[in-house]
Amino acid sequence: MPSSHPAFANVKVYDHPLIQHKLTIMRDKRTRHEQFRQLLNQIAGLMAYEVSRNLPVRAVDVETPVAIARGTQLAAPTTIVPILRAGLAMMDGFLALFPEAHVAHIGIYRDEKTAKPVTYYAKMPPDIARGPAIVVDPMLATGGSAVHAVDLLKNAGCTDIQMVVLVAAPEGINALRKAHPDLRIHAAAIDERLNERFYIVPGLGDAGDRIFGTA
């Protein structure tokens, strides 16, 4: 079970030994991109189990070979929302757990002149507002992209939104909490701070570069 953080009531921290073991390997600068990507998907799958605990359900009757049984089904379509590009590497872990989920894609870059996030791509299922949306991105640094992504989802009518990250900085958590106090955040770790280059410290470097071998 994840634990609540004393300083951030809206964050659940996944301190499970297996998750922390894999995260420690990912932090190591010697870990190659193929292992980094594999571990990220494994952690995403482990976190997805708990993240999905409170998805809305409905009762149904099914006919077994013996009799009628009362069962449970998900009541509404769930949409996984990776923030491009690094969020793509968490998809397999989630879809392995519930392949029936829909997938939306949001691409955001930061305008160098205004320092504001700009959407360069957004593709969502037409019925995304019918069910929960789970935003995934390995890193929550300044929070700018995350805030913008949640803005887009709320503008599309979504009311049940969660975010899943591997490593979060306090600055990013505070930015999300200020903009969207109702948002639930799931993280494998909350690190110390951001440095002058807006990298999470101690962090694990640029997640996108380490996932795709572009460093």
Residue type, 19: I
Query: ω before 85 within 30° of 0 (cis)?
Result: yes
- Strands (DSSP E) contained in 28-149 are 57-63, 68-74, 79-84, 102-103, 105-110, 117-123, 133-136, 139-140
Q: Is 114 known to be catalytic?
A: yes
Q: Is 191 known to be catalytic?
A: no
Catalytic annotation, pick one of 53, 111, 114, 197:
114
Return d(Cα 46, Cα 9) in angstroms, integer: 22
Half-sphere exposure of 102 (CA within 13 A, CB side): 18
Q: Is 92 known to be catalytic?
A: no
Catalytic annotation, pick one of 27, 85, 110, 184:
110
Q: Is 15 known to be catalytic?
A: no
Cβ atoms within 10 Å, residue 96: 13
Q: What is the DSSP letter of 86?
A: G
Catalytic annotation, pick one of 27, 85, 92, 206:
206
Catalytic residue annotation: 110, 114, 206, 209
